Amino acid sequence: MSKIKNIAIIAHVDHGKTTLVDALLKQAGTFGEHEKVDERVMDSDDLEKERGITIFSKNASFHYQGYKINIVDTPGHADFGGEVQRILKMVDSVLLLVDAFEGVMPQTKYVLKQALEHGLRPIVVVNKIDRPNSDPDAVVDSVFDLFVELGANDIQLDFPVVYASAKNGYAKIELEDENKDMKPLYDMIMQHVEDPEGDASEPLQMLITNTEYDEYVGKLGTGRIYNGKISKNEEVTLIKRNGDLVNGKISKIYGYDGLKKIEMEEALAGDIVTIAGIDKIDIGETVADKENPKPLPLIDIDEPTLAMTFLVNDSPFAGQDGKFVTSRNILERLQKEVNHNVSMRLEMTDSPDAFIVKGRGELQLSILLENMRREGYEVAVSKPEVIYKEENGKKMEPIELAIIDVADEFVGVVIEKLGLRKGEMVNMNQGTDGYTRLEFKVPSRGLIGFTNEFLTETRGTGILNHSFFDYEPFKGEVTNRHRGVLIAMEPGTSLGYALNNLQARGTLFIGPGVEVYEGMIVGEHSRENDLVVNVCKGKKLTNMRAAGSDDAVKLAPPKEFTLELALEYIETDELVEITPNSIRLRKKYLKANDRKKIENGTTSRV
């Protein structure tokens, strides 16, 4: 037991956590000499590889100086904060990774706050010191200021620092040291990470922090053994979150050697292992000794801040792409997601075809939707809406901390746009490279739909990062979208002639030859009101000819939407229709007469 170290890597998204894990595993001899190793080997999910971000926490281990070091790669985006909060229960220290160029970012603040509250003493790793214009010394100063701001104790404030370039595979204690290998970081881990507490002679206590499903052995539970030991074929008691006791038998125990799961006969207190054999196992529950079952403290997870309604797709094109289209299919998939994602909630509605899913942010919900469409599901979703709370009779709303890097010429327009969305500027730093960093506290609902507008106003050059800050009193009404939409009048195929005539009316979302239906959104109107248009109207053919009347139609490229941009764009009376092959925007009520009745209040909303 004394030969184990448990450590997690935490950082803002894209600061190099997964690349650092790669370097640690490679130099520890985890991979064979001739073994081909992918970049970012810990990013195993397709979406993680495509986006270059970590979504699910993952375990690995390596051996150094006779120690087994369990290392956990955590997500950097605050939307997946539930993953980070669970993982911090398993480890005895964290590597806090900070980019030597970008410095402290919103998610750095979020994950560090969690680590300090768990009483952990972080090791600060200043990564990407090889980047041009990086300033590692200034970054260390800003990290110290952040520790003070977050109320770190004296021991936590005396944090060790390592400078590294994970991409080039070296770390060093002083900036003047030679660029060699990762050995200084290994030594720092050995020196500063406490050995795990716990007693192997006590009754078994293991806290489950992650679950997954294996089609051969059934449900798997991963966690840390706090006390006692666990053996293959041992009979144990599972203590559920509500206090119920369920008896079970351990069929398999897996440890980690590098990235590979290896079967073990038994594991002792302090180790992080995966067990199989208990089908009813869930996150936050305790696997305990059968004769003397004692629960461990439950994992506290931050409450969701956004809610979205998932509906059965009822558009005229429903069922053309997807394999799973019924309410039963969608409900089963959502229940499966909620079972292993503790920061999500699922609520039923009065309608059997609609379900409310609550999560930590748009990215978390859009990742779920992207996975569902890849699995063959069809679904329609509403605009994400923030979840309000009431405290002492006051309406409270979630506030985000937004950090924005923009060229100096765009500072004014960004301040103006966020001011309209009830943003409050808390800091402004003008750099020497022509860029300014702005810090704002903005209501979460004010940031819904802002990314699109922000990229347009800064001509694609601005960088926006934000994470949940706190609940504050309601700031007043916010108007997110100031323009109406162009709505298809009838079903059919869009024609270049019709689209050409509509270009002056606004921005088009479709090109020629696209199948449309009545009520589908085909563009953005240049004015505030919605406009019903005919995109299927062809040119009337006659025998008359005139110079210039048959010129080639020149169409501007249509504006294309990613899933996140589509969710941000829609208003409360609109839906995003998501199928394996398409993302379409539509009105909730497809017929113009139905929309008029709702507007005039002559019929009840469904």
Q: Which residues are annotated as a binding site for GTP?
A: 14-19, 127-130
Known binding site: residues?
Answer: 14-19, 127-130
Beta bridge partners of residue 227, listed in sequence order: 205
**Number of C-alpha atoms within 13 angstroms, CB side, residue 380?**
24
Residue of 332, 421, 337, 323 whose CA lies nearest to 378: 323
Residue of 200, 224, 211 whose CA lies nearest to 272: 224
The CA dihedral of 401, 405, 410, 413, to the nearest 10 degrees, is -10
Residue of 190, 211, 205 whose CA lies nearest to 64: 190
Residue 185 near residue 125, CB atoms below 8 Å: yes
Q: Token pair 């990013």 is at which residue?
A: 43
> Would you call 81 helix, strand, or coil by DSSP?
helix
Q: Which residues contact 178 (CB under 8 A, 6 or more apart)?
A: 172
Alpha-carbon distance of 122 to 93, in angstroms, equals 6
What phi and psi values does residue 216 have, to the nearest 5 degrees? -90, -45
Query: Distance between the two ends of the chain, CA-based, in angstroms?
Result: 60
- CB atoms near residue 416 (< 10 Å): 11
- CB atoms near residue 294 (< 10 Å): 16
Joined together, the tokens standing for residue 37 give 């190793």
